[in-house]
Amino acid sequence: MQSTFRVSTETGFLDPALRQLSPNRDARPAGTDPAMVVLHGISLPPGKFGGPEIASLFANTLDFDAHPYYQKIRGLKVSAHLLIRRDGVVTQFVPFTERAWHAGDSCFRGLTHCNDFSIGIELEGEDETAYDDRQYPVLAAVLTAIFEAYPAISARELAGHCDIAPRRKFDPGPAFDWLRLYDELGARS
């Protein structure tokens, strides 16, 4: 089965995807191409879905006084390459050719600074709430497009934020169904 998405390795953009570029990005180290994908889970405020807050956080326009939780993240400068909302809508914040600020202090198979060589995908969700059924086929289609564009990446180079920063992060959490994702990917091959 063909992917419904395509990645331009020249521009680093995923089509079709909404685009809302984040200022929280910079150049990858010279000669570094994407070599893994990190899956995250995010909701702002925690447990609330569907609002503009995630995009506002990535754009540095979040009103930190709008919710008590935001005091914990005040001034945070973060981004991801993609956000997949619960309804399956995909927004790209950073081209894959650039480094998004999503992984922080991290290590994958002995390599540190995972932002340098990874693609970060945020799923709108949280650790203990089941991810939406619409997210899995979209994520699988996006990953298939990434695998086609960057042959160094396959399902073996997928990790959760919890895997690359295990004492610091827990997402995408136990609510994320890895086996379902692998089944979706298998159906596309």
What's the rounded Cα separation, in Å, for the pair 118 and 30? 14
Give the pair of three-digit tokens for residue 39: 């899956």
Sequence-distant (6+) residues with CB within 8 A of 150 are 7, 9, 33, 34, 35, 96
What's the rounded Cα separation, in Å, for the pair 47 and 129? 8
| Residues pairing with 122 in the sheet | 40, 83
Catalytic residue among 53, 122, 124, 157: 122
Annotated catalytic residue 122: yes
What's the rounded Cα separation, in Å, for the pair 38 and 151? 16
> Which residues belong to the active site?
122
